[in-house]
Amino acid sequence: MNPNQPPRDIDDSAFGGQKSLPLAPPPRPGQGASPFSSMPDAGPDMPPPPPQPSKPVVAPQALPVTPVAPQPVLQHLPADIAAKIAETPQQNSKEVEAKAEHHHTNASKLKSLVSIILFIVCIVGAAFVINQFIFQSYFVDGTSMTPTLQNNDRLVISKVERTAAHLQGRPYIPERGQIVVLDSSIVGANGQDEQLIKRVMGLPGDKIHIQDGVVTVTNDQFPDGFNADRTLGLTLAPTYSAGSLDFTINPSQVFVMGDNRAQNGSYDSRAFGPIDVKNLEGRLWARILPINDAKLFSFAAPVILPGKFGF
């Protein structure tokens, strides 16, 4: 054999008619033996290798699913209706719907009733607060304040100044000449407790002298005194008094009189003396009835000049 020629197949037909197969090439250096190294190369005359058995393909099985009936929203329903729905979701559906509708109807009616009650309570509370601390309506019963006020006049009394004074922790002292309402602690001429409406004529520290139909006021500012009616611009009948009357107004007191100064025309401080300011409800703010005599009474105390007014 020529070493320079490539190896060729050896004809072994002479040795039995079998043709030898080429040997697998030796493994490369550093390369381990391949498991396929002992397998003959597939020649053109060799049958293909038998197919490898494949594992059976198992179709995926669906997980078991338990059908769940749709549950309604139960948290807003009464316990008995919710339990009824939870136990038998498909049965008695009309009964459940009827009960739910009845429940919602009753809830709506209750809500409306509560709203009406709260509205009434708010109205009553607001009216109470207004009457006690801001304004209150009165009507005149009698003729003690004629000619300024007439019987059955409808008035509005302001309590704002009194409320503000109480909030500030001081007594409420009205201005001279203002018309005020007294509370029912004053015993009336008929012997019964009644609210009176009068005009403030004397303030704390004043001395009142009534004689010959004239009301004279003296104090530290005007030691010689002044005619109260003229100073206030009032045109009234002479003030009746059984003789001379003198009063001293202490702190937190006022002297009040009606504008009807005739005999038995007004029951006022000429009979029961000065009153404590805690007995004052408020001052006259407006007359609203009758309509043709409606007016505001925003009385301001006048500036008194000594010697200007005679007696």
- Where a domain ends, among 114, 133, 152? 133
- Where a domain ends, among 133, 159, 182? 133
Residues 86 and 200 both lie in one domain: no
Residues 109 and 223 both lie in one domain: no
Q: In which band, very low, low, confident or very high, does the pLDDT at 244 lie, cut at 50, 70 and 90?
A: very high
Residues 197 and 253 both lie in one domain: yes
* Farthest-apart Cα atoms in the chain, separation: 183
pLDDT value of position 194 = 77
Range of weakest confidence among 143-147, 162-166, 281-285, 295-299? 295-299
Domain count, the chain: 2
Alpha helices in the chain (DSSP H): 79-87, 93-133, 160-167, 228-231, 269-272
Range of weakest confidence among 130-139, 180-189, 207-216? 180-189
Residue 261: phi, psi to the nearest 5?
-90, 0
Residues 156 and 241 both lie in one domain: yes
Summarize pLDDT for 45-75 with one digit per residue, the tens.
Answer: 566 666 666 666 555 655 565 555 555 444 5
Structure tokens at 76: 């807003």
The answer to whether position 307 is within a domain reads no
What kind and span of H or E run contains 256?
A: strand 253-257
Residues 147 and 207 both lie in one domain: yes
The answer to whether position 55 is within a domain reads no
Find where tokens 């079998």 sit. Answer: 18
Cα(43)–Cα(21) distance, integer angstroms: 9
Residues 109 and 243 both lie in one domain: no
* Own/partner long-range contacts of 109-112 (Cβ < 8 Å, ≥24 apart): none
Domain that holds residue 195: 136-296
Alpha helices in 53-157 (DSSP H): 79-87, 93-133
C-alpha neighbours within 13 Å on the C-beta side of residue 273: 7
By residue count, the chain amounts to: 311
Q: In which band, very low, low, confident or very high, does the pLDDT at 256 lie, cut at 50, 70 and 90?
A: very high
pLDDT value of position 144 = 94
Cα(275)–Cα(183) distance, integer angstroms: 11
Measured from the Cβ of residue 131, the count of other Cβ atoms closer than 10 Å reads 13
The answer to whether position 156 is within a domain reads yes
Structure tokens at 15: 């040795």
The answer to whether position 39 is within a domain reads no
Q: Is the peptide bond before 27 cis (omega within 30 degrees of 0)?
A: no
Residues 128 and 242 both lie in one domain: no
First to last CA, the chain: 175
Between 198 and 91, name the one with better pLDDT: 198
The answer to whether position 209 is within a domain reads yes
- Where a domain ends, among 99, 133, 167? 133
Find where tokens 């009960």 sit. Answer: 99
The answer to whether position 288 is within a domain reads yes
pLDDT value of position 55 = 61
Residues 97 and 207 both lie in one domain: no
Cα(299)–Cα(232) distance, integer angstroms: 10
Residues 238 and 89 both lie in one domain: no
pTM listed for this prediction: 0.63
Residues 109 and 182 both lie in one domain: no
Q: Which of 303, 284, 149 is nearest to 231 (CA)?
A: 303
The answer to whether position 8 is within a domain reads no
The answer to whether position 64 is within a domain reads no
Residues 123 and 161 both lie in one domain: no
Considering just the CA atoms, what is the radius of gyration of the chain in Å? Answer: 58
Q: What is the CATH number of the domain that holds 235?
A: 2.10.109.10
* Spatial CB neighbours of 280, under 8 Å, sequence gap ≥ 6: 162, 172, 174, 180, 181, 182, 183, 254
pLDDT value of position 277 = 95
Residues 208 and 254 both lie in one domain: yes
